[in-house]
Structure 1
Amino acid sequence: GEFLTAYFGFVAKIAPFWATYDAKRVTVMAGLPGAQVLRLPPLSASAIAFVTLLLASVSFDGLHETFWWLIRLGINPLEFPGRSAVYAQNSLALLLFWGLSAALILGAVRLGLPKGVRFAAVAGPLMLSFLPIAAGYHVAHYFIALLTGGQYAIAALNDPFESGAALLGLPDHWVSFGFLHVRSGVWAVWSFQFAVILTAHILAVLLSLKLTESIERAQTFRTHLPMTLLMVAYTVFGLWLLSAPTGA
């Protein structure tokens, strides 16, 4: 299917609730987040590429707005000229960032590859553990957009035809971004983002251990050490992106 179907199909496997269907009924199931991931077949090469793209795209979407990145492009972050001025540079950088992300992740898999085990036999299952990270980063990165843009959606529902109605009982000019200008509001947002990213990485580590439990116990440490170090570094990078000043 097209990329949105593939993306939401992967993300849905992390949900604690899901439905199973047969000819006569629909059954709602419940389990630990990520339980469905354990039932998925190993990812194919194209699916691995897609998952690395998910990780790279949301990370670069945060990076390209930072002061650090704009300065690299020779742009004053406080006088941002508009997205069209950096379209070509950012498009090329996104492709390079995708390649770098894939190289780091697959390189970590290769470094931890046990002797006598094929690369595909480990990479396919292990890449499934990155699904919670991809989903968690999307939630954390776009959380502020949800809090701000979501208010406009609620305001539209309150007065869908701009007739002065207040179907939800909300006053005019209800939308407010004031919570982003007070320390307590920013701290609450940051704490939520931190919790989401940390939870996603913990879930990813647990899934990776479960997905590779067929590997001999003596080789488990070697297999997971490079990937664990990479996940720690990626966590630090993600938290830096969320806290870095932005100008785009």
Structure 2
Amino acid sequence: MDLWRWINPWTGPVWILQSLMGHQPKFRLSPKLGHSLGVVSFLGFVTFLLADIAPSDPARLARAVAAYWLLHLIGTLLFGHRWALRAEGIGMVMQLYARLAPFGRYSKSRAFGLWGWQIAQRRAVPPGLALLCLLVLGSGSFDGVNETFWWLAQIGLNPLEFPGRSAVIWQTLAGLILSNVLLVGVFAATLWMGLMLGRVTDVSLATAFCLFAPTVLPIALGYHFAHYFTSFLVEAQYALISATDPWARGQDLLGLGHVYVTTGFFNTQESVRVLWLCQAGGVVIGHIVAVLLAHAVAVRHFGSARMALLSQVPLAIFMICYTFFGLWLLASPRGF
């Protein structure tokens, strides 16, 4: 189920403005651009999240979100619905994740299946979307790496005397770029080895890249869950307080009484163990689904079960290694 279509912050305002002004899109987004604008939009969001000196500062965050919203509101009004499908990076990522939903439509009827079945049933995605799938995984992975003692040691910093985010802006940008380039290169090399091993001659490397790139989405989603799970447990409490008292006037619109933010679940070994197991479970499940999904895609598009099996050996090894990498990230000490 695509929940994004129900919470998309542009759909309502665009419909209202078009109805009141009788406005129709005046420009056409060139097909030659593909999904490049969306890729740039997503990378801009990730850059702000990882490299900005204070991305969680309320005023700074509000300005960034307002600028992003206004930019894509204007783009949608000028270029129509295609802008949201090809240029708005966050929405594009949400639509990709929606393909992992167990509920969907198949042959114009409602259907239910294992997570990712909709990806297995579809044709290859365009190159821009394929690249975006890898960037989501690569950026999410570096989001975890850049906080570890290992990474801080690589850029010459004492993790116990972290000087602040302003001191590592360029190192963070370089690490983000390097991580994504390395992941795309390794993934492409893995696919090439799989095609050679399975002797798949009727599928090019470019086509295989567009076919199998969406199969890493379960891994990326598992990382997002694991990385932000503990933050969610705390920030959700602040969101609840804001919802019941949005103007900080002592109101209680939701009738919740006094709500206090607690981080008590970090105080005991048993509760931390439960949290860690939940995070590790998210990572492992994401990888299991990704391996199964990649094999289903190979069987559907390569025709021969033997060719599909042999071609997936390098990719399966890649995903297993990434599992260990993800669990290492969860267990690694953090510098800030």
- Do the structures match in fold with TM over 0.5? yes
Greater shift in the superposed pair: 159-168 or 217-226: 159-168
Check whether the contact 1:158–1:170 (CA below 8 A) recurs between aligned residues. Answer: no
Q: Whole-Å Cα distance in 2 between the matches of residues 170 and 76 of structure 1?
A: 44
Deviation per residue, 1:186-230 (Å, 9 max, x gap): 111111111111111111111111111142223233211111111
Change (3 A) 1:15 1:168: farther
Aligned to 1:62: 144
The AA in structure 2 aligned to 1:97 is S
Q: CA deviation at 1:99?
A: 0.6
Relative to the length of structure 1, the TM-score reads: 0.90
User: Tell me, what secondary structure is at the counterpart of 1:142?
Assistant: helix
- Equivalent in 210, 222, 225 of residue 313 of structure 2: 225
Q: CA deviation at 1:88?
A: 0.6
The AA in structure 1 aligned to 2:134 is T
Unaligned ranges ≥5, structure 1: none
Aligned to 2:97: 11
Q: Whole-Å Cα distance in 1 between the matches of residues 249 and 313 of structure 2?
A: 61
- Map 1:32-43 onto structure 2 (within 5 A): 32-43=114-125
Relative to the length of structure 2, the TM-score reads: 0.67
Q: Whole-Å Cα distance in 2 between the matches of residues 30 and 229 of structure 1?
A: 29
The AA in structure 1 aligned to 2:335 is G
Check whether the contact 1:66–1:247 (CA below 8 A) recurs between aligned residues. Answer: yes
Determine if the alignment matches structure 1 residue 188 to structure 2 residue 270.
no
Deviation per residue, 1:117-154 (Å, 9 max, x gap): 32233322222211211222111111111111111111
RMSD: 2.0
Determine if the alignment matches structure 1 residue 142 to structure 2 residue 224.
no
Aligned to 1:238: 326
Aligned to 2:57: none
- Equivalent in 251, 260, 265 of residue 179 of structure 1: 265
Check whether the contact 1:42–1:125 (CA below 8 A) recurs between aligned residues. Answer: yes
- Map 1:1-248 onto structure 2 (within 5 A): 1=86, 2-18=88-104, 29-113=111-195, 114-115=198-199, 116-117=201-202, 118-166=204-252, 167-172=254-259, 174-213=260-299, 214-215=301-302, 216-248=304-336
Check whether the contact 1:157–1:168 (CA below 8 A) recurs between aligned residues. Answer: no
Q: CA deviation at 1:40?
A: 2.6
Structure with higher RCO (Cα < 8 A, 6+ apart): 1
Deviation per residue, 1:16-55 (Å, 9 max, x gap): 23479x9xxxx86543321221233202322222111111
Q: CA deviation at 1:11?
A: 0.3
